[in-house]
A and B are shown apart, each in its own frame.
Chain A
Amino acid sequence: MKGRDAGRAVQGGRLAAIRRRLVFAGQLLFTLAVAAFLVVPAFLSILAGVTSNYFVGIRSGVTLQWVAQVLSLYGDTILRSLVIALATLAATLVVGVPAAYALHLRGGRLARVIEEVITLPLAIPGLAIALALLLTYGGMAEFRRSWLFILVGHVVFTLPFMVRSVIAVLAAIDVKLLDESAASLGASAWRRFRDVIVPNARAGILAGSLMVVTLSLGEFNLTWMLHTPLTKTLPVGLADSYASMRLEIASAYTLVFFVMIVPLLVAMQWIAGRGRPDGERG
């Protein structure tokens, strides 16, 4: 290669470096803008929830009066959501964990069909499922009026997440091998499940549990159709406050919701991150 070409190549290298810097800056700004779009309103809402008068701004003073109002107006919805979330968790654990184990171990076409079917509720809009439940069980007045009706909807919706999560961890730890070695030592099927399988599937059960609770706390599409004035949940209350309450109260209510949800999200991210291997060297 002639000297001239080599010089030009190096020159081109320098220009390329400048262009790289510009591209980096441009991409960074773009990403920051997107992040701002997502974060700014959330931040505003937290701010509004503790500001005396949002119209005036933060100068009007910081106060917890809105939060207090929310707790007195909507305290029952918060409690009910927690109860339903925990009950949903209990139900999905009892129903989902053994089923995940059975599905994974059995394998075969039947297992795959069952997995498909339980995943259907994720594809079908909550509205449709709620409608279906109303049409089928709406006539049973006692059931229809109680919070159990909502529980049923939540369980149908969150079950696939628990099952999938447990199946994933079972696949990762080679359950068949553990099961066979425990069997060779004389343990019955139930003992094996209790002493060997479940403890080793802990990570998947934990991840699934966090997912179920988070989803249940935030579920709206189903719950809005299934609720009655006496069985309101937190998201239902939120919708109500957005429509009829002043901005500060709606924001304070949203703030309460954030406080409940964000620790769960952080816990889920942390658990997911723990399983990931470190990045490679550049």
Chain B
Amino acid sequence: MQRRMVPRALSLKAFLRLCLVPLVAVVVAFFLLPMVRLVLVGATGPLGLSAYAAILLEPRYRATLLNTVVLAAAVTLATIAIATVAGLFLQRHRFPGRALLVALLTFPLAFPGVVVGFMIILLAGRQGLIGSVTAALGGEKLVFAYSIEGLFLGYLYFSIPRVILTIMAAIEKLDPSLEEAARALGAGPWAVHRDVILPALKPAFLAAGAIAFATAMGAFGTAFTLATNIDVLPMLIYTEFTLSANIATAAALSVGLGLVAWAALATARSVAGKTVAAAG
């Protein structure tokens, strides 16, 4: 019997295992281990494990957390409302220039937070458009880029493209025969929206809303650009780490923020059925 001169090729199982090795190595070394370290460091400061509870107990941190949550929630609701009105309009009507309008509404999708902050400065900063307009109209020059209103606008700016895309995709999948059935039963446009369309969009609202909320919670670039004295959680973490060198506190706050964002996205995923991401 001839001896095998050529080594047997890898079985599928072995090959697949090999394929996963680099991924597992990268993820463990550069994500899992560091995250574990972060959690541990958060518990080794002067307050120990109770640093984690400090987010809720310390009045200063609690105020910041509340600020951030309220802001994120407000942005989420506003964005969903805006995106639904615009999305329904764009999906229901075909007219020349529609494609351009859709492109204009979604092109800021990949803008980093810093650029968005700059956009707001151009709109509402000291040399901003709104300021020039209000001054020309005879009133006082309106400058609000560097305040909570400016931040709200900034968050709105990068939430709208993302949420509009999600909602438009959901509207496209709506079953037209449901609306026709409602109309056949006598429902006018408002009743059709109330009884058929909006209920059908509920999963999309939840999914898109959760993403917008998580993104707004964790947004750093925009807040950083607009000022360093706005009281939101990411800025607090940043100042604790770089300016006050409270590493443990910063770590604990980061973990807390991460948990809230993760919980929001997990909600979105369970409703939408696929992975979603925050960015900004």
Q: Are chains A and B touching directly in their complex (CB below 8 angstroms)?
A: yes
Which of these binds chain B: A62-70, A72-80, A201-209, A261-269? A261-269
- A228 to B: closest C-beta gap in Å: 13
Whether A239 pairs with B114 at a CB distance below 8 angstroms is yes
Max count, chain A CB within 10 A of own CB: residue among B18, B90, B119: B119
Contact with B along A123-156 (1 / 0, CB 8 A): 1111111011101110000000000000011011
Could you say which of B10, B88, B111 contacts A188, with CB atoms under 8 Å apart?
B10
Whether A238 pairs with B115 at a CB distance below 8 angstroms is yes
Beta-carbon nearest neighbor of B35 in chain A: A132
**Residue A52 interfacial (CB < 8 Å):** no
Contact with B along A22-63 (1 / 0, CB 8 A): 011001101110110111111011001000001100000000
Residues in B with CB closer than 8 Å to A35 are 101, 104-105
Residues in B with CB closer than 8 Å to A136 are 33-34, 37
Whether B89 pairs with A123 at a CB distance below 8 angstroms is no
**Residue B167 interfacial (CB < 8 Å):** no
Contact with B along A245-280 (1 / 0, CB 8 A): 001001100100100011011000100000000000
Could you say which of B15, B31, B34, B107 contacts A135, with CB atoms under 8 Å apart?
B34
CA distance A7 to B16 in the complex (A): 73
**Residue B136 interfacial (CB < 8 Å):** no
Whether A98 pairs with B22 at a CB distance below 8 angstroms is yes
Max count, chain A CB within 10 A of own CB: residue among B12, B18, B123, B247: B12
**Residue B257 interfacial (CB < 8 Å):** yes
Taking chain B's interface residues, is the majority helix, strand, or loop, or is none over half, making it mixed? helix
Query: For chain B residues 215-268, which have a beta carbon within 8 Å of chain A?
Result: 217-218, 220-221, 224-225, 234, 237-238, 241, 247, 250-251, 254-255, 257-258, 261-262, 265-266
- B100 to A: closest C-beta gap in Å: 9
Whether A190 pairs with B10 at a CB distance below 8 angstroms is yes
- B29 to A: closest C-beta gap in Å: 9
Beta-carbon nearest neighbor of B89 in chain A: A27
Residues in A with CB closer than 8 Å to B218 are 124-127, 221
- B202 to A: closest C-beta gap in Å: 21
Whether B275 pairs with A164 at a CB distance below 8 angstroms is yes
Whether B34 pairs with A238 at a CB distance below 8 angstroms is no
Can you list 25 residue pairs at the A/B interface with Cβ under 8 Å? Answer: A30-B89, A37-B157, A41-B119, A41-B129, A44-B122, A45-B118, A55-B127, A98-B20, A99-B22, A114-B20, A119-B275, A125-B261, A126-B220, A127-B237, A128-B255, A131-B250, A133-B34, A136-B37, A155-B26, A159-B23, A183-B12, A188-B10, A224-B220, A224-B221, A242-B114
Beyond known contacts A38-B107, A40-B129: 5 more, CB 8 A cutoff: A32-B101, A129-B31, A159-B23, A189-B14, A220-B112
Residues of A bordering B, CB below 8 Å: 23-24, 27-28, 30-32, 34-35, 37-42, 44-45, 48, 54-55, 91, 94-96, 98-99, 101-103, 105-106, 114-115, 117-129, 131-133, 135-137, 152-153, 155-156, 159-161, 163-164, 179, 183, 188-191, 193, 214-215, 218-221, 224-225, 235, 238-239, 242-243, 247, 250-251, 254, 257, 261-262, 264-265, 269
Closest 4 pairs between A and B when the two form their complex, measured CB to CB: A125-B218, A188-B9, A132-B34, A189-B15
